[in-house]
Structure 1
Amino acid sequence: MPGRRLKIRHETRVVYEGSATSSHNELRMTPLTLPAQTALDARIEISPAAPTGSYWDYWGTQVTTFDLMEPHESLRVVATSLVETSPPAPLPGEPDWGTVRARLEHGRYAEFGLPTPRTTVGDEPVAAARAAVAGLGPHEAALAVAGLVRDRVAYISGSTGVHTGAQEAWSQGAGVCQDIAHLTVALLRRVGLPSRYVSGYLHPDPDPAPHETVAGQSHAWIEYWAGGWVGYDPTNRTRAGESHVIVGKGREYGDIVPHKGVYHGAPSGSPQVTVEFTRVA
């Protein structure tokens, strides 16, 4: 099937109360090239201007680094990319649970079966998840867990922060896409499915008009392994597809933070972030 070409503009602006005398930064804002997604162009502009470096981290995410060693009152980062996306592939042939368990015992798959600080949950949600998947195959089990999480956790913008854990989202029954993804990953792991956290962008319109620029958002969803990796967006109860653009995959948000670093100087306000999408083809 033909793909879709999306232009994405992601701007982050930080204003300090006085001057920052120096800062050291890492950015994870460059979309990946994958079987269902091709990054045709990607660039990052920084103001004040600074030389950049680049490397691929342990999780396969492209990282851009830069240092600002002169005093500055603000920092502006604009990441622009052009990405071609494809519809989701058919579900892979479903393995039995024994095959899935064997995967969890080897190498990198084992890392996606263990809890992390943001994907640790208590007995109540685990019991609910195990009851929900009783008698189901891996694909149906993944949907059952995602549905359980979405029924439990209402999406409420601003209800949590970046440090919120999966158990907190379960207990308060509210969260954002990051929390819903963390809780889904946590419970999928506890029922025996290797699962990973995916960070990227989501176009808000499932069938956008060409050449119309609209406000988008950074987004989080999940992938689980059942004969192959399958992307699923539990917040929106749908397979990850043409509207989803992947930047990174890891165990949790801490592995793929879009912008992190350290600085010396005056306090800063909260970063102001905007994301814009334009469908160009």
Structure 2
Amino acid sequence: MSWQIRIEHSTGYRYASPVISSYNEARIIPQTGDRQLTLEATVRTEPSSSTYRYWDYWGTQVTAFDLHTPHTELIVTGRSVVQTAPAPARPTDVPGWDGLTDDHVSDRFVEFVRPTVSTPEHPELLAAARELAAANTPADFLPAVGDWVREKLRYQPGTTEVRTSAVEAWQQGVGVCQDFAHLALVLMRAAGMPARYVSGYQHPSADAAVGETVSGQSHAWVEGWLGEWWGFDPTNGVPAGEQHVVVARGRDYNDVPPMFGVYSGGASTSLGVTVSVTRLG
């Protein structure tokens, strides 16, 4: 049974002295695809600005805007209504490891099999990936990776930042959903499986009451190529389903930041991020 979810995402900044010019990009509009339909989506800024939208290289819808009126605070709010589908069954017509790692697949998905700054190679992780691949078919590999990651990482907000790499989080033994996703990507790519980072939102309750607004969260998970893309949430150990709302996909977090910009003015202080979600049906 599909869900309909309303999401409100607000993020803000305060500046030590007035900003006279800023150029910004927001990636907070959910995508429409095979298993998700965005019914409504708006982005508002304070101070008010004109916005325009485009799709970036990775297929994410970007809301761009610039401000040239002096301001000491900036607040960006996205509101959307999305219809999501239950988690799909794991693909059954899955190539074997030889099929996943042949030149045709590697060439087609070259950007999703190479290491990145946030998902670098490491000999111990390479050995772990090979051990997991030897013990599992590609279809079983992704859940096994999720189990391995949850054994190595303890979820603890505030222990890492957006620039923390998967290796650094693994060595510390703590992290947040971004780190769980990055570490899973390292293992998947080390085994030769094309893998991409997914950014979006998650409703926190599987049995959410219709009409109740609760505090949600920005969230990250992964998709692996099993003859088709299949999403898995390594933080929670579940396939991506009706509680997951896709906003952006890329190689790692650096391809999908919710907010990115440059400005001329004083040092900035984050006012924080709030996400509220309501199951409408």
Does the alignment reach a TM-score above 0.5? Answer: yes
Deviations 1:73-117 (A, max 9, x none): 10011100000001012221221112211353223x111100010
1:267 corresponds in structure 2 to 267
- Cα contact 1:24–1:67 (8 A) shared by 2: yes
The Cα shift of 1:136 comes to 1.9
1:101 corresponds in structure 2 to 101
**SS class of match (1:269):** strand
Give the letter aligned to residue 149 of structure 1: V
1:139 corresponds in structure 2 to 139
**SS class of match (1:41):** strand
Is 1:216 aligned to 2:216, yes or no?
yes
Q: Distance in 2 between matches of 1:46 and 1:30?
A: 14
- Cα contact 1:97–1:137 (8 A) shared by 2: yes
Structure-to-structure mapping, 1:58-77, within 5 angstroms = 58-77=57-76
1:120 corresponds in structure 2 to 120
- Cα contact 1:197–1:253 (8 A) shared by 2: yes
- Cα contact 2:113–2:192 (8 A) shared by 1: yes
1:44 corresponds in structure 2 to 43
The Cα shift of 1:191 comes to 0.7
- Cα contact 1:50–1:66 (8 A) shared by 2: yes
**SS class of match (2:20):** strand
Q: Distance in 1 between matches of 2:238 and 2:227?
A: 19
1:29 corresponds in structure 2 to 28
Deviations 1:93-149 (A, max 9, x none): 221112211353223x11110001000031112212211221421011222222111
Give the letter aligned to residue 197 of structure 1: Y
1:171 corresponds in structure 2 to 171
Unaligned runs of 5+ in 2: none
**SS class of match (1:266):** coil
**SS class of match (1:160):** coil
Is 1:237 aligned to 2:237, yes or no?
yes
**SS class of match (2:245):** strand
Q: Distance in 1 between matches of 2:44 and 2:188?
A: 38
Structure-to-structure mapping, 1:186-201, within 5 angstroms = 186-201=186-201
1:156 corresponds in structure 2 to 156
Give the letter aligned to residue 47 of structure 2: P
Unaligned runs of 5+ in 1: none
The Cα shift of 1:268 comes to 1.1
Normalised to the residue count of structure 1, the TM-score between the two structures is 0.97
Q: Distance in 2 between matches of 1:72 and 1:270?
A: 15
Q: Percent identity?
A: 46
**SS class of match (2:86):** coil
Deviations 1:54-79 (A, max 9, x none): 10000000001000011001001110
The Cα shift of 1:271 comes to 3.9
Q: Distance in 2 between matches of 1:211 and 1:38?
A: 19
Give the letter aligned to residue 106 of structure 2: E
Q: Distance in 2 between matches of 1:66 and 1:125?
A: 41
Give the letter aligned to residue 144 of structure 1: A
Q: Distance in 1 between matches of 2:115 and 2:107?
A: 16
- Cα contact 1:39–1:83 (8 A) shared by 2: yes
1:20 corresponds in structure 2 to 19
**SS class of match (1:120):** coil
